């Protein structure tokens, strides 16, 4: 069989066998509507309640602080827009976020700007860490929400959420963190980390696509986004997706157990970084230490990312890039640009995101395969030609 290495776990993950097994009874027998009074409904409700309890336990939170959504983007939209609508009642109209957030956060903020809210987009340093001084300078009594991601999806930078909570809470602002990438990589104890809201997504941790979650701390009141029936304690309408909720609970429990395996993942990541940055004119994007265990993001100068992805795909390796050519716009990754990476280097960025399913042999294969691809693309690049000619001259 041809070699296949999946190194795009930050995009999505395969649904694990245990998760599928956990979900099957919800399709086959307990398929009732959890709002129904009869047995089929009660069975479904029992499964859902149990899942909610188990998820709360994973985060050291309370079951009534867990709200299920259709995806991570919905949870992000709800946290930001729901908070904005509520804070306006208190006369507050300022939100602070960062320049490197996921589009679900950035575009929610932009939508609110059109409704008259003021938004500050925090700068980040060259490693992608948010500027806490800028946060301290821009936060006022008028600030109702500070929304900063737990860890970045492109470069894996882990943000100082605890300190952000201290600064925000001192001014009476709520804190929301998008933890979609952090979950499964970092142990999150919500009895210790004082965030007011936290979002996550099932499909990044081996649950199916189509299930997300928003943690809303008890006592925090945000406006509804989806109006309708009385589901989710009247906060989020729509018949609950019981199978996927049960799947999410299983996936989160497994993810928590697998945290023990994180040092091994980190070791594989470090080997990838050390070996791949030996390629001339390459540079690691983000921090060497302060990054998610599975994230590697390297720019290769004088070539463009999509070409690398196509060749890697032919070799059976799935990865991703911050190049513009992989998107609909002419601009490369907003995250890399915010970190001060020049356009031309951002176009040549490659993200490899590995997981506990990755093996040492997979890492070997990537290390063997990539240098040849970079060389092949450089050999046909007019920019590389100039570099080579300059070398001969000197």
Residues that bind other proteins (CB under 8 A): 302-307, 310-311, 314, 323-326, 328, 330, 332, 343-344, 347, 379-385
| Pick 16 or 381: Cβ nearer other proteins | 381
CA distance 199 to 203: 13
Shortest spacing between CB 342 and other proteins, in angstroms: 8
| Pick 128 or 307: Cβ nearer other proteins | 307
Burial class (CB in 10 A: 0-12, 13-18, 19+), 243: buried
First vs last C-alpha separation in the chain = 48
| Pick 294 or 307: Cβ nearer other proteins | 307
Shortest spacing between CB 331 and other proteins, in angstroms: 9
Of the candidates 367, 316, 374, the one whose C-alpha atom is nearest the C-alpha of residue 5 is 316
| Pick 321 or 355: Cβ nearer other proteins | 321
Written as six digits, the tokens of 360 are 């040492």
Shortest spacing between CB 382 and other proteins, in angstroms: 4
Active-site residue among 30, 137, 165, 325? 325
206: left (phi over 0), alpha (psi -120 to 50) or beta: left
Backbone angles phi, psi at 154, to 5 degrees: -95, -45
Q: Does residue 26 carry a catalytic annotation? A: no
Shortest spacing between CB 347 and other proteins, in angstroms: 4
CA distance 241 to 211: 8
CA distance 234 to 228: 8
| Pick 116 or 382: Cβ nearer other proteins | 382
CA distance 177 to 14: 25
CB neighbours of residue 85 within 10 Å = 16
Shortest spacing between CB 356 and other proteins, in angstroms: 30
User: Known catalytic residues?
Assistant: 325
């Amino acid at each position: 069989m041809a070699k296949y290495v999946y190194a795009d776990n930050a995009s999505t993950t395969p649904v694990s066998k245990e998760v599928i097994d956990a979900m099957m009874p919800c399709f086959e027998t307990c398929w009732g509507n959890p709002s129904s009074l009869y047995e089929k409904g009660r069975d479904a409700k029992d499964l859902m309640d149990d899942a909610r309890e188990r998820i709360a336990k994973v985060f050291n939170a309370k079951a009534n602080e867990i709200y299920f959504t259709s995806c991570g983007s919905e949870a992000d939209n709800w946290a930001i827009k729901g908070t904005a609508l509520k804070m306006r009642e208190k006369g507050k109209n300022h939100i602070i976020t960062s320049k490197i957030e996921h589009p679900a956060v950035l575009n929610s903020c932009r939508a609110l700007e059109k409704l008259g809210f003021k938004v500050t987009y925090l700068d980040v340093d060259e490693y992608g860490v948010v500027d806490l001084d800028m946060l301290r300078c821009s936060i006022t009594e008028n600030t109702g929400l500070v929304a900063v991601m737990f860890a970045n999806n492109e470069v894996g930078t882990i943000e100082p959420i605890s300190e952000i909570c201290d600064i925000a809470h001192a001014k009476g602002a709520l804190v929301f963190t998008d933890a979609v990438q952090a979950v499964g990589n970092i142990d999150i104890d919500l009895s210790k980390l004082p965030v007011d809201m936290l979002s996550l997504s099932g499909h990044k941790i081996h649950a199916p696509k189509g299930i997300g979650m928003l943690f809303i701390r008890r006592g925090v009141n945000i406006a509804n986004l989806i109006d309708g029936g009385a589901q989710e304690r009247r906060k989020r309408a729509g018949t609950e997706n019981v199978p996927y909720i049960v799947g999410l609970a299983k996936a989160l429990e497994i993810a928590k157990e697998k945290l023990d395996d994180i040092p091994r993942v980190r070791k594989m990541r470090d080997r990838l970084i050390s070996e791949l940055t030996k390629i001339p004119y390459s540079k690691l994007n983000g921090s060497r230490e302060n990054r998610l265990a599975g994230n590697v993001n390297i720019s290769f100068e004088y070539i463009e990312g999509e070409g690398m992805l196509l060749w890697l795909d032919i070799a059976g390796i799935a990865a991703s890039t911050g190049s513009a050519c992989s998107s609909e716009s002419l601009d490369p990754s907003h995250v890399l640009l915010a970190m001060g990476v020049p356009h031309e280097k951002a176009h040549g960025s490659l993200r490899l995101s590995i997981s506990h399913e990755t093996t040492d042999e997979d890492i070997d294969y990537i290390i063997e395969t990539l240098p040849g691809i970079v060389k092949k693309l450089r050999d046909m690049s007019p920019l590389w030609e100039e570099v080579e000619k300059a070398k001969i001259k000197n």
